[in-house]
Amino acid sequence: MSTVVKDAALQERCIETIRFLAVDGVQKANSGHPGMPMGAAAIAYTLFTRHLRYDPADPQWPNRDRFVLSAGHASMLLYSMLHLTGYDVTMDDLKAFRQWQSKTPGHPEYGHTPGVETTTGPLGQGVANAVGMALAERYLAATFGGDVMDHYTYVLAGDGCMMEGISGEAASFAGHQQLGKLILLYDDNHITIDGSTDLAFTEDVCKRYEAYGWHVQRVTDGNDVDAIDAAIAAAKNETGKPSIIAVRTHIGCGSPNKQDKAAAHGAPLGADEVKLTKEACEWPLEPAFYVPDDVREAFAAAARQAAASHAEWTKKYEAWRAADPDRAASWDDAWAGALPEGWDADLPIFTTEDKLATRAASGKVINAVAPHIPTLIGGSADLAPSNNTLIQGSDDQQAATPAGRNVRWGVRELAMAAMANGLSAHGGIRPYVATFFVFVDYMRPAMRLSALMDLPVIYVLTHDSIGVGEDGPTHQPVEHLAMLRATPGFVDLRPADANETVEAWKVALQTKDAPVGLMLTRQGLPTIDREKYAAADGVARGAYVLHDNAGGGVPDVILIASGSEVALALEAHERLVAEGVRSRLVNMASMRLFEQQDADYRESVLPASCSSRVAVEAGVTFGWERYVGDGGVVIGIDHFGASAPAGTLFEQFGFTADNVYARAKALLA
């Protein structure tokens, strides 16, 4: 696809229009980053008019090229392009930049503005998202065929993105994977907020990416449209490697006093400098947000040409559907985020004779559902045997086996999570990723964006407590549950046994609009007798009454536990019951899901009339106060763990049935 404007003067007006829409938008908002949009305007112009395949009338067309603005502070560049090419981003939207409830927030937000492919702003994460999108394209092409999935992924990144370690992690992975349809445009302007990159960043980025296994090109003049065009074309022809194009640009390009200065980065130019810049570029001072008629028509022509590729694809797609209706049905499920009929037919059922870690039960669930859900793919950050995440009988996801479903992420936790966000945001893929629970410390920024974007990424987080034992406090998560529970929209699930793990996976797979964390044990757990106690499907409501001895009345005491601590709370509960105490045991598998239930259900589980409550969880006590109140106690661990066998740690730190029983008796007394 290429729409080449023959008139050099018109082409320059198009680029200046992009620049000054950004300048005027930031100036009107009195907030924002004008410098990069001014410097990278020619890059955006070249990409949107000569290469990018898109359709403003259908922004979610599956085979569109993906464009990620990793340097999300340059959002006015993207909003200007979306407006000029006909997306539902109006002139009034541009004028409402960074204002309450506008379509043009300070950084691009997924699901909020048509044409925005992912939420960016935390630098470098957009690069990793783009790697995930490129991986999604390759897997879907290998699974469904090149007639229906065959697009490029472009990402525009700046010096800050190149400094952040996450981009290096993701680039290393992309180079190994030989993702030849991934093209990174590096806005190499040599300026950050502090000043020149010479202050802190003097490496040769191109040599680094060459070492990663990328195809590397340099464009020395960021305003040379033909040179940028030729570099993108060469990158598209390099099918065996991802490509980076370092384009030497000038931040604040055209500004007499702020070009190539940090002052152009994160603040409006100022009214006087806007006037000087427009005069220097021979641009009309009034009106602001000026778009010449011939410029508007030039961009409309480019958009029509881009949309024509959608029509061409539709013909191939319809022929493909007619020839292969079964695969077409699977395709429909994948893009709708729907589970195919019979997806749960082979889920395991565990008996009281089974004693196994919930991480092991999770592995059995993955392998039970994988044959039914062909777009469920994922893997571990170099811990697959410990996390139990391998899909048996499937190839690894590699360049030579692009239909493989086992993704070997390597020891790259943060990039792994961000690449999974890219897989999910691309569409058609249901990704899962895994590591030890304690390493969410590395993953947290991307997990937060999973929640912010409502992406249903599944996080398999094993070795979930001090039960890790001998590995010691560096590997024992204590504060991590509280951290995830504090994240808006993130669903926490800590199953108590193997059957609850099955139910937790069912919840995760049926959740379409939120990330889910499955916190799973290293150590074996007994399987609860469901003929005697409540069914495991209560997990779907977050918390449920596992057993009640109150005879329909108000309990004397309520014991509340999650995960591996449910078993010891159950033992204490049975001792209380044997003494005639009206004891209730509540399994708090997910605080998030419990809080989503109606008030009547929450009251039925934790009646306000019973203030004697004991909560037990091998983590910090923070957050449990809402469930035990002033009259209850929490058995937790508000300090780091220690190195010793798991049983020793549980005993030393008070996670025993004896201690739960004693604390309950003390409350009753």
Instruction: Give the tens place of pLDDT for each residue, 61-117.
Output: 999 999 999 999 999 999 999 999 999 999 999 999 999 999 999 999 999 999 999
Do 219 and 229 form a contact (C-beta atoms < 8 A)? no
Q: What is the pLDDT of residue 5?
A: 74
CA angle, 332 then 338 then 343, to 5°: 110
Rounded Cα distance between 272 and 282, Å, is 15
Angle at 78 between CA 197 and CA 423, to 5 degrees: 90
Right CATH for 8-310 from 3.40.50.970, 2.160.20.10, 3.30.200.20, 3.40.50.2300: 3.40.50.970
Rg of the chain on CA atoms, in Å? 28
Phi–psi pair at 383, nearest 5 degrees: -135, 25
Q: What's the gap between Cα 378 and its chain centre?
A: 13
CB atoms within 10 A of CB 55: 22
Report the C-alpha gap between 74 and 273 in whole angstroms.
19
What is the pLDDT at residue 390?
A: 98
Identity of residue 222 = G
Calculate the alpha carbon distances from 66 to 11, 23, 150, 217, 392 in Å: 24, 25, 11, 21, 32
Extract the residue ranges of the chain whose pLDDT is less than 50: none
3-state secondary structure of 487: coil
- List the catalytic residue out of 413, 500, 503, 617: 413
- Domain 536-668 in CATH 3.40.50.920? The answer is yes
Q: Is the separation of the CB atoms in 150 and 1 below 8 Å? A: no
Model pLDDT, residue 551: 87
Q: Tell me the whole-structure pTM to 2 decimals.
A: 0.98
**How far apart are the C-alpha atoms of 426 and 335, rounded to whole Å?**
10
**Residue at 168: amino acid letter:** G
Active-site annotation holds for 571: no
| CATH number for region 355-526 | 3.40.50.970
Contact 520, 501 (CB under 8 A): yes
- Using DSSP's 3-state secondary structure scheme, residue 169 falls into helix
Count Cβ atoms below 10 Å from residue 226 Cβ, excluding itself. 13
Q: What is the predicted pLDDT for the residue at 440?
A: 98
Going by C-alpha positions, the residue among 368, 401, 366, 416 that lies closest to residue 387 is 366
Q: Residue 1's pLDDT is what?
A: 58
Report residue 76 as tokens.
């006015």
Residue 390 three-state SS: coil
Nearest to 450 by CA among 122, 206, 187: 122
The residue behind tokens 């993953």 is 443
What per-residue confidence (pLDDT) applies to 2? 57
What does the domain layout of the chain look like in residue ranges?
8-310, 355-526, 536-668
Rounded-to-integer distance, Cα 400 and Cα 80, Å: 40
CA torsion, ordered 164, 167, 168, 173, to nearest 10 deg: 160
Q: Would 8-310 and 536-668 be classified into the same CATH topology?
A: yes
Element (H, E) at 147: none
What does the pLDDT read at residue 601?
98
In sequence order, the 6+-apart residues with CB closer than 8 A to the CB of 204 are: none
